[in-house]
Structure 1
Amino acid sequence: MTEHINGNLLIIGGAEDKKNECKILRYFFNEAGGKDAKICVITAASEQAEQVGRTYEELFRGFGCKDLVIINIEDREYAALDHNLDKIASSSGIFFTGGDQLRITAMIGGTPLGTALQHGYEHGIIIAGTSAGASVMSDTMIIGGQGDTPGEDLIQMAPGLGFLKGVIVDQHFAQRGRIGRLLTAVSLNPYFLGMGIDEDTSVHIRGNATLQIIGRGTVLIADASVASICNVDDINNGKPLAIAPVKVHVLCEGWEFDIARRTSTCRGEQKAK
């Protein structure tokens, strides 16, 4: 499968620092234009939309943002209102908050707002998402499933917003022990890359299909396309997963990953494949 990367995505593993250096949020602010940024915060994932929106508004305005709007989507009709579409069209940076990723797709998927977001993505506007807002970036997203043993509890998946194709994103990765469900996800979709992002960690993916890691944790990338053994057809019967080999990259800030070539590179002299 050929990964299709057009845009400018900042995918955050959740629980990003909001009190100290705020490295990831400041990075987004600067990429959106700094003090000239026009930021749109979308709170569709959250049941406490107003409170969450205020938190990010205070942060971005504290960085120096003078032009910020919040879209609290109450229903699908709200995602068709012209004034909300105008907010998306005039933005230089769009930020999805956390919550429940199914709320995002239920409220936005297939609406004029969804089309406006896709248009912004195709024109290189930076689109960021944290936690649930990270998972929804891909065309296939994880919506549930637990268990330390891959296949122990079948993973739940659903369509995402489709900005990032050929990659499945999981968040709060190390903190919630989600390697089992990510491995299950890539066993079910072996030509997809699995990307598990730790808290206070992010990946910036540009149109050249290269991702850069920003933050204090790690990003695990699982490539199951090389597997010669897989019993995924048996996990419906309650059996644990067996898949081998799986190529795994564990990367931190200072490293990059080429999604098309599936190779890792340190931005210094050291390189790994």
Structure 2
Amino acid sequence: MEPKLEGNLIIIGGAEDKKGEKEILKEVCSKLDRENEELVIATVATELPEEVGKEYTKIFRNLGVKKISVLDIQEREHAFEEKNVDMLKAASIVFFTGGDQLKITSLLGGTPLYKVIKDIYKDGCVFVGTSAGASVMSDTMIISGSDDDSPKKCTVKMAPGLGLIKDVIIDQHFAQRGRVGRLLGAIAENPECLGIGIDEDTAIEVCDKGYFKVIGSSAVYVIDASNISYTNVSEQNPDELLSMFNVKMHVLKCDDRFDLIKRQPFENKEEKNENK
């Protein structure tokens, strides 16, 4: 079965460079007409919406974006307000900040704002998420699990995400927080999904042709358990170590591509030919 794919996504592993070259944030800005189109900063996940909203507004303004709004949803009732719905309808880019991914889905799920997210995404609005905003992009998301530990059965908690990209599970701050164990646990429970671990200051740009490109300073890890031959994940004793056989991992750096349909990395031959 082919994954249900969409494009118009930039998914960031968190802690993107905000003071130096700002490579990833510049790439975000390149997706819109900086003079005329609207960038909406969604501070739904954070406990410091005013502070975070001001920080990103300043950064994007310095990068030349003229029209910036901050979507601050701290109660479910705010997701029913017409002014917030209209703000999203006018957006060309929606940027979800970090914080708590469960806060995003629990505040927005089933509301008019959630319906608008789906509608404008289908119409070509670019969605960007960093940290918690990255995890929430998939239809199944990790909400908690042990960092920097061997994978154990039943220690990863998951919940439905926004579903902008299907059949993948995304984890962020990946190498920096030692999260390979918890992503393996998530994939053991959902072997039909690809696990995508994204390092800090690193992102994937998802193309509607069915592949993604890596940008940023570190790595992206793709775990494919579709050919798994054995796992003890469904057996008793949930605190036992997880055992998995025949799992494949790819490690990708900046400019590497990964075909989400064929489930394999590939070289960007066009760029290679240009550099010859």
> In 2, are the aligned partners of 1:254 and 1:267 still within 8 Å (CA)?
yes
> In 2, are the aligned partners of 1:10 and 1:203 still within 8 Å (CA)?
yes
Q: Does 1:86 align with 2:102?
A: no
Q: TM-score, normalised by structure 2?
A: 0.94
Please give the per-residue CA displacement for 1:63-114, whole angstroms capped at 9, x wherever unaligned: 1111110011121111111111111111111100000001101111111111
Alignment of 1:44-59 (within 5 A): 44-59=44-59
Structure-1 residue corresponding to 2:206: 205
Structure-2 residue corresponding to 1:195: 196
Structure-2 residue corresponding to 1:100: 100
Deviation at 1:247, TM superposition (A): 1.1
Q: Does 1:131 align with 2:161?
A: no
> In 1, are the aligned partners of 2:32 and 2:93 still within 8 Å (CA)?
yes
Structure-1 residue corresponding to 2:261: 260
Distance in 1 of aligned mates of 2:237 and 2:157: 12
> In 2, are the aligned partners of 1:150 and 1:180 still within 8 Å (CA)?
yes
* Stretches of structure 2 lacking an aligned partner (at least 5 in a row): none
Distance in 2 of aligned mates of 1:220 and 1:96: 22
Distance in 1 of aligned mates of 2:53 and 2:236: 41
Percent identity between matched residues is: 45
Distance in 2 of aligned mates of 1:6 and 1:34: 24
> In 2, are the aligned partners of 1:93 and 1:127 still within 8 Å (CA)?
yes
Distance in 2 of aligned mates of 1:52 and 1:162: 24
* Stretches of structure 1 lacking an aligned partner (at least 5 in a row): none
Please give the per-residue CA displacement for 1:167-205, whole angstroms capped at 9, x wherever unaligned: 000000000000000011100000100000000000000
> In 2, are the aligned partners of 1:146 and 1:153 still within 8 Å (CA)?
no
RMSD: 1.4
Distance in 1 of aligned mates of 2:42 and 2:237: 37
> In 2, are the aligned partners of 1:141 and 1:157 still within 8 Å (CA)?
yes
- Please identify runs of 4+ aligned residues in structure 1 that moved more than 4 A: none
| Letter aligned with residue 72 of structure 2 | N
Distance in 1 of aligned mates of 2:6 and 2:144: 28
Distance in 1 of aligned mates of 2:236 and 2:194: 20
Distance in 1 of aligned mates of 2:238 and 2:99: 32
Q: State the number of aligned residues.
A: 270
Distance in 2 of aligned mates of 1:216 and 1:205: 18
Deviation at 1:235, TM superposition (A): 6.3
Distance in 2 of aligned mates of 1:82 and 1:182: 38
SS in 2 for 1:234: coil
Structure-2 residue corresponding to 1:67: 67
Deviation at 1:124, TM superposition (A): 1.7
Please give the per-residue CA displacement for 1:228-260, whole angstroms capped at 9, x wherever unaligned: 111111364322111111111100112101111
> In 1, are the aligned partners of 2:4 and 2:165 still within 8 Å (CA)?
yes
Deviation at 1:7, TM superposition (A): 3.3
| Letter aligned with residue 174 of structure 2 | F
In structure 2, the CA distance between the partners of 1:30 and 1:44, relative to structure 1 (3 Å rule), is same
Deviation at 1:120, TM superposition (A): 1.2
